[in-house]
Structures are given as C-alpha cells and as structure tokens.
Structure 1
C-alpha cells in the first residue's frame, strides 16, 4: 500500500497539478479503475479518486478516455458528480464526490427492502434520462457501476462504454467486450450476435436487460448467470410481472426502464412507498401548505428507520431547516429537525443546526420560541457555553416578560436546562431578577414553577446570596393563596435544608413554616410535617454540640439577685406560676419611673382621655399587697411592651425576608419596608405621636392601647344618640337659659364614657391574620 501511494505521488509530481490527495484504497469489483478515498487540498473536504494506469491497461485506454469525456458532458442528479480530471500519458485521474460501492452493501445484504426500492427508483430515473433524452446506451449496468454518495443516494457511474446511437464511432460496439465481467451480464441477443446487433434493436434493450439483472442481484445478494434470473423468491411480489418483462428474450418486446418506472409509480405500484414519496416532495417542502406539510412530515416519521441516516443529514435536514426558518414550517418541522440532529456528529451539528438555532431565538414568533424551549434539552449539550451566554440567553430572557403566559412558563422551565451553561455573573444577577418577577406573576402556575426552579438551581447560586434569596422566595411562596405554590415551597425547603445555617433554620425558616401545619389543604399539612421534621432533626443534632449553660453577664446577675421573686412557690410548675414569675421578674428589673428620654426631648403627648401614668415604686417589694396584684391585672395591657422581643436582635421580619434579592421586595410599587412590617409595631393608621427614647426610656404603651381599644370599640359599637362621649379636653358651657343636662334626683350632671377594657385576644388574633392575608394582594 505504501508503495502504491509513493508511486502515485511520484506520477503526480511529474504531471499537471492535481489539487487532491490520495487516501486509502477502496476495493471494487471487476473494473478498469482503482478507487481511492481522497481529500481536497484547499479545504480538506472529502472526495473519491478514480485512477487508471495507462501502462498496465493500455488496451482499455479508449474505455477510460470515454468515461472521462462522458462524465464531463453528462449532467444529471443521478449521475456521479465529477470535481476534476487529469489525463497524462501515464495515468488518468477522476476526482468525484465521496462514493461507496453498492456492491459492499449487496454482498452483506445490509439494505432494507424499502431502501432497495428507493435506490432502484433513482437508478431507473437516471437510465430513463440516458436512454430517452440522451439517446444513449450505458451498456454496463451492474452493482460495480452504482455507488452510494455521502447522502446515501444511489448514483450511476461506470460510463466506460456509454455510447450515443447518433455517433458513428460509438465505443460500445467496438470495445464492449473489453468491459470487465461483460460476459456474465451480456443480454442473450448480444451473446448470439455480438455488440453490433445493438444498432438493430431499440436503444433501451441492453440497459433494460441489465437493469433486470441488477434487480435480481440487489434482492438476492449475488448473480451467478442468466440461468438464475427465474428465481424471484426475494423479489417483492408486486414487481414480478414488470421484472419478467425487463428480461424478455426478444429485445423488441422488452419493456424499457422508463416503462418500468411508470408502472411502479402507478397508484398502488411498487414504487408508491413513503420513502420514495418523501424524496420527491422534500425539495418543495417550503412551497407546500400546512396540510400537505403535515402529511409529508407524518410520512417522514414513518420512514425514519428505513432512510439512510446520511440522506437525512445531507438532503432532508437542509430542506427542513429552510422550511423552519423561511418557509413557515413551524414547530412540527423543528421537532423533526431535532430528531435528525441526534444522529449528527458534533462537527456536523455545529455547522448545520447551531447557526439556525441562534437565528431562531431572535425570531419573534411565539410558536417558534415555545418549540425552541421545548427542544432545548435535546440541543443544550451541543451548544458551546460562550454561545449560550452571549447569543442565546440574551434573546431567551424576553420570554420572562412576554404577554403570553405559555411563553413565560416555558421560559421558567427552560432555566433548569440552560443554567449549567450560564456564568455565575448571569445566574446571580440577571437571572435572579427575572425569576423575582415571575415569582409575583399573576398566573399561579408560573409562580409555582418559579419556586420549583429556585429549589432545583439553589446549588448554582452564589454562596453569599443563596440563603438570603431562597429564604425570602420560599417565605413568600408559603403565603401564596395557590395551594400548589405553598406545597412547592415546602418541598423546595426540604430539598435545600442543607444550604441554610442552623441559626437560620431556627430563627427564620421554622417560624414561617409552622403556619403550614394548620393549612386548609391536607397535602400542604402533610408536606409541612415532613419538612419540619427534617429541620427539627437538624436543629436537635446541632443543639447537642452547644454548651449546657452560658454564664450570665455581671449586670444581669446583680439585677436578678437584688430583687426577690413575688408570690410564686419554688415548686410551682404550673403554667400560671411560670407566667406570674416572668412578669414579676420583668417588672422588678424595670423598676423606676417611666420618664422621657434624658437627652432633653419633649414629653410625649398623651390623648386627653388617657390618665397620666402611675409611678411604680418598687422600693419595698415585701410590702406589696393584693392591690399590687390588681394593678398588674389592670395594667396587663402594658405587659407586651415589657416582654416583647427586641427587634434589633434579629427578629425583624423585614430584615430577615424583605431584602431585595433582585425583585422580591418590589411588589406592585410597595416598598419592602411597608410590605413586611414588624408585627409588634403600631400600624400606620394609628394617630399617635411618637417620641424617640434613649436606652432607659419606655413608651407609654398602656395609654396607647387604651386609646386604641376605645377607638376600635367606638368604631364597632357606636353609642346611641345622646350618649356620645364629650371631649375630655374642652368643656362646653351651656347657653344662657338652656336647661342643664341632669339626671337623677340630685340633678348632678353625669358624663357617660365607654369603659376601658383590653383588646380581646380574638381581635388581636384576627388583626394578625388580616395582616398575614394581606400578602395575597401581592400576587
């Protein structure tokens, strides 16, 4: 082999320039040519090279020169495509498209019946053109003269003896006997009278007989001689009658290849197969209507297994891509493109499909966009990361804000597919901003899918923003009025439990998950129980690593020991005993007068209906009487202000979950601070005057709660006419002569006022629920 390559290279160096390099030799049946695989030197593209050695086959030189001349002049889609030829005194080279001999597949019987019909149909069309339009005789139809192109199409070659009946010096009558293995394929009239009888018979006679032998050989795998032509076991029954007429012993009565082709194309004929119909219609796909296009694609799906894979890549795929991009092929055509794309190599995919995909993402057609997003899993592995970040994702994000809900939803789902290809900057910046918007979408399904998406891409988020973003997003979803959104949030919390610190689990996540235990939906309650068990198990494990006790600070220790506990036995473990002890401890620690701040600020203004505060004197705790207990009961409304947790210690809901992670805090123009307020702080509708306090100052919550209680009671139960409460700050003198407003025997004037009472516990609970349900308005 090395010797042959060196000899060929030496011959080329002495002759005209030939821009093709020789590769491996390809074995061919009996032929005057030696076939090599080759490449074009300019671009490295594949080709085949037919080589003829003049010195070794000088007697067959006329056949070789005839082949070169006919291949240059005869142009047809079914004929081998010639790229270049070189002819010298010592050699002849013909460079063609990359070819594979049909005889390889025939001997192995590796082609399906439908594929054989498809190939014979192509050869029949080419022979009809040669016999009828070119008025020529091929004279050498056999598997050695038929080749498969890179697209899998059958191409006709072997033009060594091709002769025109109009030529006086036709090569076939003179040199037909020099064609290799001509005796085995020779028609009966030629074997009896020689090649000269061809001028006395119809032009198609010789090629029709040889086409019959070709049919026998491709279906049976071999052809041993004319005696075996009557064995039609493997030939399709629908072809038997026409096959016999091709082999008629009388050349004048013999069916032409053109007639055979017409018989097969008839309704119900042997050439009426989906494979052949698709081949004929695929080139006009862009011109077909929707109904015709759908019918063709349906046939294409049926024959996908019978079609050569190369034909799909080289012929069908380009037509489908043109139909999608320019011919209105739509989503169905693109789905077929993706199925074919799975059979392509990375280089083929990058050169054929990737450029079209990038252009389609810029297409404003919503149907195309949805189809692209649906098929993104099939092509994401083939797309380079740089291309996804620079070209595809910038076009893809328009779907997050599209007016069509289906586009927004498919875009959210596609995030799971595309996120492995995105850079950290895009994931933690632009992507989170768009997901923040879809988390507040008007469509509940989109909100739910956004929560699921965040749970699945949680580990792709940056470590600095991950916990903050997820806690805010899942806390919001837990308040979603859509049941599936709440369930998705709980499932996402369960899946991402290891991404939060134990402190966040205990202080931020458990408080927002606990209300789900009493959700109206049983599925949510069950999922909440499972999720809480995961978090509680983690917190219990963490708590075992903490110290058993923490040393109190010196100031707190002295303050505690300096004040005795009141009225609670040491062995009293009841709930009431614990509560009284806590309250007295708080009151003891907060001994002293409630005064304004020491920084010289003005005294807080009180409503006129509220009595001035009573100074608590705790100098003699031992002398407290039962009146002190009554005072505790009467001023019980001041207890929340004493035992309420300090919002500066991390309990501020707005600080925990209201931070803007790219849009979660911006809901319909309402700022984060207004949307999630401290549940312990007064609402904005309360008409109270506030005063800043120093560290030891204490606001008058008792007076505020009393006024608030009166305003609520008045709003809910207005007093009858005549019993309205007069102003406590301004006394109106009755007019002269007017009768004083007196009641009873003594005539003393009485002022009727609403009794003070604490805000009922049910009202406080209802107010808290109203505040929590207010989150539903944001959706």
Structure 2
C-alpha cells in the first residue's frame, strides 16, 4: 500500500487536534480500494479543508504541512507499525509519509514488539499520511452518539420485572466503563513495560470499536528511551490534548506519568457522559430497532458527518466533561460547531449531551472535583475513587504510575464481571474443560448485565466461534442459552444476519448434547430462519434425531415437531406427520404417548388436507396400542383436534373419523381411556352442532341475498298460465 489510492475514503467522522490545525488529523470511514467490502477507519494527515470546515475549525495559513508537523505524522505511522497488542488499534496499512506498509511488524506472538525508532522528520512533499485501522471512532464521537443509550443498555433478565430505561443504561454503562478502563490501562502498561511513553492520552487518541471495546491509537508523540528529542512535541501535545487532558497548569512532568493522568481523565469523562445519557434514556432509546443501521453509522447519531462534527467540536477544543475551553476563541469555535452539528443531528439527545458538556465547565476545570462528584452520585464506582484520585494528583511524584495501576486499579477492575468474562473468552483455547464448564454455567447470569454493544459485538461472535469450532469442551450445551439470550434483544434483521446462519450450521452437529439443546430451543430458534433454508437444510438434519438410538434425542426432537410444523412451508408438513407416525411405533411407551399428544398439537399448523386425512388416521392407529396411557393420549388428542377452532379440520370429516375412534375407545378396558372417549363424543357433538348452525345461517343468508337480487314483477307468477 504505497499510495493513498490504496484506500477509499467515505464519510468524515471527526477532526483530531483541531485546537491547532497545523497538527490536525481527519478521521474517515473507509475501505481498501482493492476490496471495498473490507471496512476500515482511516486517519489522514494533514486534515483537508473540507474536514476542517465540517468541524468548524479554521484551516492553517498554508495548505502544505510544515516539516515539523510531517515529522509528528511520520512518527505516528512508524510507531504504529511496530506495535501489536489486543487493546491497540489493529493496523491494516500505512500510506504516504515517505514510506508504506501493509500492516504491523509482529514478533513474539500475541505480545508486541516495540522497535526503537528515531524521530526523523518526514518530507512535506511525500503526500498525506494515511493510517488504515480496524473500524472504530474516537471516544468523544462514541459518547456523543445519538444511539449511545441503546449501545450501553443492559438487558432485562428473563422473568424479571421491567426496570426503567435509565437503570438499564446505567448498569450496562458500568460494565462498558470497566472493560474500557481495563483495556486502556493494559495498553498503556504494555507500552511502559517496553520503555515507551504515549505522550498524548486523551479523547483524541482513545477509540471505540464497533463492538464497544476501547483501543489506544494516535502514536504521534510516542517517546522511547532511545528516541531523539522532538522539538515540536509541546505544540503537537497542545493540539491533541487540550483542556484538562493536558497536565494541569502546563506542568512539565515525565511522559509516562502524564499518560496515566490522561488515562484517568478519559475514564472519568466517559463515566460522566454515559451517566448524562442514562438520565435522559427512554424506552425507545433502549429498544432493539427493526431496521438495522448501516455499519458505518454505528457511533453516529444521525449522518456520519453530523456525528463527527458534533463530537470533534467537543474534543478538539477541550469541551469534554473534563475539558474546559483553554481560550475564549476556542469556546466560540466549539459553540459554533456544536450549533451547526445540532442543526444536522436528528437525535435530540445527542444535542442535549453536547449542551451538557458545554455547561459543565465549572466542574471540568478540576478533574479531582469531577471524579469526587461522579463517585458520590454513583456514576463512578466508589471502589475506583482511590486510584483515580492518585493518578489525577497534581504532583506527578505521588501518582505512582504503573505501580498504582498494578496495585490498585487493575485488581479493582478485575472484580467486574464484564471484564472477567471478556478476559476468559480471550483465553478460552488454553482453559481446561472444568474451567469452561464453570464459566459457561455462570454466563447466563452475567449476559443481561453487559452493555448491548459488548453483548452483540464481542460476546456473541466469540461464543458462536467457540461453539462451532469445538472450544467448549464440557460446556458446549450451556453456550446456547446465552447465545439465545443475546439474540432475544436483537431486531429480526440483525438476528437473521448474525445468529441464524450459525444456528443453521449447528443443526448439522453430530454431538448429541448440542442437538438436544437445539431441539429444546426450537420454538425460539426456528421463527428466525427463512422457510427455504428451514425446509432444505435444517429439517432433514433434525429429522435424523427421530431414528437416533438415544431416547433423549428422540424425545427432544419429538417435542420440537410442533415448532417445526409452525415454521415449515406447507411442502414440509407431510414430513412432520410421517415423523409422528414413525414415533408412534417407538419401543418406549412414553415416546408413543408423547407422539400422540404431539399429533394433536401439530394439527393446528399443518395443511387442511393433512389434517383431514393423516392426523386422525394416525390417532385411530393409537387405539390399537397395548399401553392404556398411549391410547388415552390418542383419544385426548383427537378431542383437541375436533374441538379446537384453530385446528380448522372440516367438522363433518373430523367428527366422522373421531366418532369411529370414540366408539371403540368407549368400550376400552381402561377407565381413563373410556373417560377420554366420553369427552371426545361430546367434542364431536359440539363440533357437529356448530357446523349445522353455521350451515343453516349460511343457507339463510344465501336465500336472503337471492331474494334481494331477484327482479321485481308487477304480476304474480301463476302455474296454470305457465303450464
């Protein structure tokens, strides 16, 4: 990827570093031009004039970037290529800036290499620098999203009473915040262990993926122990870390200590913004939408441009929950940009959030005060307040840096269920069967408390992958329950696109435990699979369970037949009835009795010709069964078929066949069978009576219509005259 043509830019989402346009970057949705379906986030330096106008930022005097600014951009590209970590933005390629690369240089497996690089200045004539990463948006864009409440909302546990939307968002936001803080802190600890300081940790360098995970990026100001000094560092840092995300009072401190200060500011800012959104959440905000949004609009409230402009105005000028405007001019620019974004933003709550950020300048001037207020209101967990205060201390020597992270912050974050769940899934291949069994057994209780973005974007894909590729030894049967719980909160289109294909593949599994679980959940699974796929792929595989040697699988498959009858097209109904006939000959009396009951339930869903002939014929065959309970079940099912108005069996045909069965059953030696026969005779009589009444009413209506339609005659008709 040696030139910008390797990437296809689409919507501008934000501008980073707008406080000093000379160092500004533009954030675009994009893709690889060779494969347009491969979606990316593109970071481009310098930001073009259109992006700056969108963010309400005045462009630099010259369109050509200075050598110093190009050196900062080239440093970002070089450093990013040398870093690989689960919580660092995944790099797809770099273009421009005097060099190109198709991706990061990995060494040492899952860890990352951090090769020392010099800060040599890039050439201003080498073209724009474009860094292509996994799809994500800056943290401030995510927090200003009109869909934030829906993305962070927890789910209602099955059977629980309905809770206010604000509580659902608050609970989900707590897990999202813990997972984000853990990810960001882990990425920083990784850098610091290798002697690298990030140098610009703030809302412009922290990104949120489509799954809601936090990622560290924008390595413009990274400084390694072997790197040469960067004279332009102060100006670039002022652009990328405005307001309180920079050191208070412009203090000159160690870069690593400054990183932890920015880390804590991001955590508190995210907590305050999420709480503000939770307070305004409504039922519509947290409900699953029937229309799946375009992937590129994940973190934007309305159009991509609107979301980017609203949020970049907030962050580039320091207008986050913690970032007061450093100057009156930047305040004016931020207000103008926010007003312009509000006009374009269709979601009123996103605009309200931007207004709240502007109104909190009195608290934002003091991060410690904001943190204390957030903890007292429950926005920030009280258990975090100690290490947050330590890392925000005005005296860098008292912060402790990595020591505070390892001693205080990390242990408190690892007590969060969302964090431990994500960590376990990341390490799933190396876990023992006993650990997997314990984990998956407790997962259904954890899933509802997780935010929707992590449930659907992170947890669901990993569960489906583990289930399909056999990584659930000993716990595979328990994975379906959380998968279905996650799917229950998705729209129909989302479910069919993401869950249904994996479920269809699971029906081909030869593992009996998995197949039993699929049959037990058939009623909730099958309606989301299109009829063509269900008839051609799922039903033939499911029907194999009827002949399995394991009685548990035969019984589970039998009990799933009513669900199949409701979901299959008419062409598949004959197969369902034949399956019941097959089980009526099963050696186990219990299965034969269940087959009789199932025949009555299936009669509601199959075609009329099948109901009128095959179903009652199968019930008649039950009368000859040697087990009294099977015969009683058959007669009871016949009464259900005849008496149920939903069954739709022609009354005369149904009653005629059922009366033949009832006559034989009335003389049965078993008392229960005889009692059921009496009920069947009554059901037949009621059905015939209703049929006769309906026929009489229909005949009377037809006669009345005929009389009304007959032409009037002035002379009465005389038989003799006609004769």
TM-score bin, normalised by smaller chain: 0.5 to 0.7
> 2: CA distance between counterparts of 1:502 and 1:345?
44
> 2: CA distance between counterparts of 1:216 and 1:471?
68
Secondary structure class of the residue paired with 2:28: strand
Q: Shift of residue 49 of structure 1?
A: 2.4
Indicate if the aligned counterparts of 1:313 and 1:340 stay in contact, CA closer than 8 A: yes
Provide TM-score, normalisation by structure 1: 0.60
> 2: CA distance between counterparts of 1:503 and 1:309?
53
> 1: CA distance between counterparts of 2:661 and 2:4?
85
Secondary structure class of the residue paired with 1:388: helix
1:191 aligned to which of 239, 250, 255: 250
> 1: CA distance between counterparts of 2:196 and 2:638?
80
| Aligned residue number for residue 282 of structure 1 | 425
Q: Note the 1:475-490 alignment, pairs <5 A.
A: 475-480=620-625, 482-490=627-635
> What residue ranges of structure 2 are gaps of 5+ in the alignment?
50-58, 98-124, 153-172, 274-320, 325-363, 376-380, 643-647, 697-723
| Aligned residue number for residue 77 of structure 2 | 68
Indicate if the aligned counterparts of 2:261 and 2:392 stay in contact, CA closer than 8 A: yes
> 1: CA distance between counterparts of 2:611 and 2:234?
87
Q: Shift of residue 191 of structure 1?
A: 2.2
Which protein shows a greater Rg? Answer: 1
| Aligned residue number for residue 502 of structure 1 | 652
Indicate if the aligned counterparts of 2:198 and 2:223 stay in contact, CA closer than 8 A: yes
Secondary structure class of the residue paired with 1:205: helix
| Aligned residue number for residue 304 of structure 1 | 447
1:536 has 2:685 as partner? yes
Secondary structure class of the residue paired with 1:161: coil
Q: Note the 1:18-417 alignment, pairs <5 A.
A: 18-23=6-11, 25-26=13-14, 30=18, 32-41=24-33, 42-51=35-44, 52-53=46-47, 56-57=59-60, 58=65, 60-87=69-96, 89=125, 91-104=128-141, 106=143, 112-133=173-194, 135-170=195-230, 173=233, 175-176=235-236, 178-182=238-242, 184-188=244-248, 191-192=250-251, 194=252, 198=253, 201=254, 203-221=255-273, 222-223=321-322, 224=324, 227-231=366-370, 232-235=372-375, 236-257=381-402, 259-266=404-411, 269-325=412-468, 326-327=470-471, 328=473, 329-343=475-489, 353-417=499-563
> 1: CA distance between counterparts of 2:518 and 2:40?
35
Q: Shift of residue 138 of structure 1?
A: 1.6
> 2: CA distance between counterparts of 1:127 and 1:465?
67
> 1: CA distance between counterparts of 2:400 and 2:690?
91
Q: Shift of residue 149 of structure 1?
A: 0.4
Secondary structure class of the residue paired with 1:499: coil
Q: Note the 1:462-611 alignment, pairs <5 A.
A: 466-480=611-625, 482-497=627-642, 499-500=649-650, 502=652, 505-506=655-656, 508-517=657-666, 525=674, 527-539=676-688
> 2: CA distance between counterparts of 1:389 and 1:499?
24
Q: Shift of residue 214 of structure 1?
A: 2.7
Secondary structure class of the residue paired with 1:291: helix
Return closer, same or farther for 1:449/1:464 CA change in 2, 3 Å cut-off.
same
Give the total of aligned pairs. Answer: 521
Q: Shift of residue 282 of structure 1?
A: 0.8
Q: Shift of residue 517 of structure 1?
A: 4.5
Return closer, same or farther for 1:380/1:182 CA change in 2, 3 Å cut-off.
same
Secondary structure class of the residue paired with 1:489: helix
> What residue ranges of structure 1 are gaps of 5+ in the alignment?
1-14, 547-779
Return closer, same or farther for 1:492/1:178 CA change in 2, 3 Å cut-off.
same
Q: Shift of residue 306 of structure 1?
A: 3.9
> 1: CA distance between counterparts of 2:660 and 2:517?
42
Indicate if the aligned counterparts of 2:17 and 2:240 stay in contact, CA closer than 8 A: no
Q: Shift of residue 514 of structure 1?
A: 3.1
Return closer, same or farther for 1:262/1:331 CA change in 2, 3 Å cut-off.
same
Q: Going by fraction, where is helix more abundant, 1 or 2?
A: 2
